[in-house]
Chain A
């Protein structure tokens, strides 16, 4: 099967980033997030919670527990993979109260979501999943954007007028519209850049989504078909946004 090179290149960059220290997580922890995201798919506890009316009432131990990640970190990965539509403010606050920082939570969520893109693409095309990378040496950057602020969201985000320094180009301000989904992971700008990279090759850049027409791309499916796919994924994931 002939896969566009821009897709393969984007996946390569995601995989390379997994093996490197992130903003708050070590390379070992990021690789463990990948392993946890795959373990979640066969996790008995997640299956029971998914089918329960009150998922938080179901207690137990997740599949693939490792000492490299905290219990809360593993819970975030598994929840995000298996039941993202039932993430609530109270649940997020519980994760933060139990030791995760908001920035660690965002990095884990961003990384898990990026992994889902690559693994889902491979599963969809019947391709073998990429190998788990070997973690490289290095320390997390630990740089928190000073202009990120709490809005109505569960975690702080960088506002449209808060770009500066090494994240001055995080959004495309030539567009008047920066969608909130683009800002979702901005507490960890590298997570946003990873999502940007994937969007550019898999769909359209965030700020350009509303304006794109079929005259602006050379994909083999049209924009109406793309919107149908996107909407169906959203509803299957119970995503209100």
Chain B
């Protein structure tokens, strides 16, 4: 399944599979950076950060760290408060969910 932004096709399944770049510039290195940081293994973080730095530079690494750190809050805010999905995003979410397999959860709802 593809998503179109900035006039180019993006394979959003990469978000779930973690394989490939999804057509996103340096997508593979960005995903490896996220995975290493979430796993919190210093050696893996170092390796992923160096790879990303070679691809997008120090400023890019800093901005990537900022975004991924921010979503440590946003995901927890959503889960802690048990918020409903916004109406306007339900339709999009359903399309994405089918592509990524989220709809396979019991009754299609969050645990």
Q: B residues engaging A (CB < 8 A)?
A: 5-6, 10, 12, 14-16, 18, 22, 24-27, 30-31, 33-35, 37-38, 40, 42, 45-46, 49, 56-86, 88, 100, 102, 105, 109-111
Contact A234 B64 (CB under 8 A): no
What's the minimum C-beta distance from A119 to chain B, rounded to whole angstroms?
Answer: 8
What's the minimum C-beta distance from B7 to chain A, rounded to whole angstroms?
Answer: 11
Interface of B, helix, strand, loop or mixed by DSSP: helix
Does residue A3 face the partner (Cβ distance < 8 Å to B)? yes
Knowing A124-B33, A180-B86, A203-B70, say if A185 contacts B81 (CB, 8 Å): yes
Closest residue of chain A to B66, judged by CB? A202
Does residue A58 face the partner (Cβ distance < 8 Å to B)? no
Task: Count A interface residues, CB 8 Å.
Answer: 72
What's the minimum C-beta distance from B75 to chain A, rounded to whole angstroms?
Answer: 4
What's the minimum C-beta distance from B28 to chain A, rounded to whole angstroms?
Answer: 10
What's the minimum C-beta distance from B4 to chain A, rounded to whole angstroms?
Answer: 10
A-B contact pairs, 15 of them (CB 8 A): A84-B79, A87-B79, A109-B76, A110-B77, A123-B37, A123-B45, A195-B77, A201-B66, A221-B60, A223-B6, A228-B30, A230-B71, A232-B68, A236-B34, A239-B75
Does residue A179 face the partner (Cβ distance < 8 Å to B)? yes
Contact A154 B45 (CB under 8 A): no
Knowing A184-B77, A224-B6, say if A229 contacts B34 (CB, 8 Å): yes
Closest residue of chain B to A194, judged by CB? B73
Give CA–CA (A198, B5) in the complex, Å: 26
What's the minimum C-beta distance from A198 to chain B, rounded to whole angstroms?
Answer: 6
**Besides A80-B80, A88-B111, A125-B61, 9 other CB < 8 A contacts?**
A106-B80, A124-B49, A155-B80, A184-B83, A198-B70, A220-B59, A220-B63, A223-B6, A240-B105
Give CA–CA (A45, B78) in the complex, Å: 24
Contact B46 A126 (CB under 8 A): yes
What 1/0 mask marks residues of chain A from 1 to 23 whose CB sits below 8 Å from any chain B CB?
11110010000000000000000
Contact A125 B30 (CB under 8 A): no
Give the residue among B38, B68, B77 with the most A Cβ atoms within 10 A: B77
Knowing A84-B76, A225-B26, say if A118 contacts B69 (CB, 8 Å): yes
Contact A184 B81 (CB under 8 A): yes
Give CA–CA (A172, B40) in the complex, Å: 35
Contact A124 B25 (CB under 8 A): no
Contacts of A237 in B (CB 8 A): 38, 71-72, 75-76, 79
Task: Point out the residue from B15, B42, B60 that lies within 8 Å of A220, measured CB to CB.
Answer: B60
Contact B15 A235 (CB under 8 A): yes
Interface of A, helix, strand, loop or mixed by DSSP: helix
Give CA–CA (A135, B60) in the complex, Å: 35
What 1/0 mask marks residues of chain A from 171 to 209 whose CB sits below 8 Å from any chain B CB?
000000101110111000000000100110111000000
Give CA–CA (A228, B63) in the complex, Å: 13
Contact A4 B37 (CB under 8 A): no
Give CA–CA (A201, B67) in the complex, Å: 9
Contact B73 A153 (CB under 8 A): no
Contact B76 A155 (CB under 8 A): no
Does residue A231 face the partner (Cβ distance < 8 Å to B)? yes
Knowing A106-B81, A232-B18, A241-B85, say if A4 contacts B40 (CB, 8 Å): no
